Structure 1
Amino acid sequence: MWERTYEGDKRRSEADRKKCLHHIAASKEWIIEGVHYTWVNESFNEADLIIFLDIHYLKRIGFIIKRYVLQKAKIEKANYAPTFSIFIKMFQWNADFEKQSKPEILHTLRTSYNDKLIIVKKREEIEHFIS
């Protein structure tokens, strides 16, 4: 979605995103983060495995707060200025994901890719699966 430059992040054009996605999906091994699922979903056909991280809504709120504090304290790197405005937007994005995007994504995955779908809800499950 984003091209990292010295001047800051620049949003890629749709054509550039598709080109990058096709290049990645043609690789032998790859991982794609799917928050932008409306355009990365075409890579699902090429995936051997799809892992959906279904972290509890309240836990994600805790992650948002922790990330903001660590970024403001310059302990964690941020690819954007961690402003209070963005901090508030994160809560809205989280709520929108829970109410709208998550059900859409899960419906798509369960309908078309259930044979290669794993839903992980806790860190222990991730660590067990990886090991």
Structure 2
Amino acid sequence: MKLHIIGGGGSGKSYISALMSRKLNIPHYELDDIFWDNEADVYGVKAPEEERDRKLKEFVSRESWIIEGVYRAWVGPSLLAADKIIVLMPPLSLQEERIWKRHQERISGVAVSNKRETLESVRELIEWNRDYNLVKLPRFIESCEYKDKLITVNNNLDILELLAALTE
């Protein structure tokens, strides 16, 4: 099975990918890990495109996978190869709450992260995420050439139902 999960920051992509990975016994990959240069001294430095694209092709070439991220433009190989494209769209207020909670967990050391985000970068992420959820994600859904593969999920109960259907 090949699943591509897309959604804004704090939509639950990483959580759902890890859960589905365990339940379906297939690997999952976070696109942030290949899009951003996590070795950079500052937050927000992009990895070289050639390296990112090579890693994505490597993931997609595997027999089964779950790939998750907010990205739409450069993930064509994943969208094409996916059996299902799951779009997570929980309420924006919940996403923002999760973004702030995640930031607090990272700076307090509760959550281990190689991301070097700042208070300002979190504010910028929330602003970007609003535009993503209100403009870019609906535009993606409307113009997606893989509508037959799209599944839109608005809450965790929908995800649990989806997971049950995928494992039947």
Q: What TM bracket, shorter-length normalisation? A: 0.7 to 0.9
1:130 matched to 2:160: no
Aligned-residue Cα RMSD (Å) equals 2.2
1:86 matched to 2:121: yes
Task: Tell which structure's C-alpha radius of gyration is larger.
Answer: 1
- Alignment-derived partner of residue 95 in structure 1: 130
Tell me the number of residue pairs that the alignment of Structure 1 and Structure 2 aligns.
129
Q: Which segments of 5 or more consecutive residues in structure 1 lack a partner in the other structure?
A: none
Q: Which segments of 5 or more consecutive residues in structure 2 lack a partner in the other structure?
A: 1-34
Residue 12 of structure 1 and its aligned partner are, at CA, apart by 2.3
Secondary structure in 1 aligned to 2:87?
A: strand
- Separation (CA, whole Å) in 2 of partners of 1:96 and 1:6: 26
Identity of aligned residues (%): 26
Relative distance call for 1:32 and 1:8 in structure 2 (3 A) is: farther
Superposed CA offset, 1:9-36 (max 9, x none): 8632222222212221111111222312
- Consecutive aligned runs of 4 or more in structure 1 exceeding 2 Å deviation: 2-12
- Alignment-derived partner of residue 12 in structure 1: 47
What amino acid is the match of 1:2?
W
Q: State the TM-score, normalized to the length of structure 1.
A: 0.84
Of the three residues 36, 40, 46, the one matched with 1:2 is 36
User: Would the aligned equivalents of 1:8 and 1:79 in 2 still touch at CA under 8 Å?
Assistant: no
1:30 matched to 2:65: yes
Secondary structure in 2 aligned to 1:45?
A: helix
Residue 78 of structure 1 and its aligned partner are, at CA, apart by 2.4
- Separation (CA, whole Å) in 1 of partners of 2:42 and 2:124: 20
Of the three residues 137, 140, 150, the one matched with 1:105 is 140
Secondary structure in 2 aligned to 1:32?
A: strand
- Alignment-derived partner of residue 13 in structure 2: none
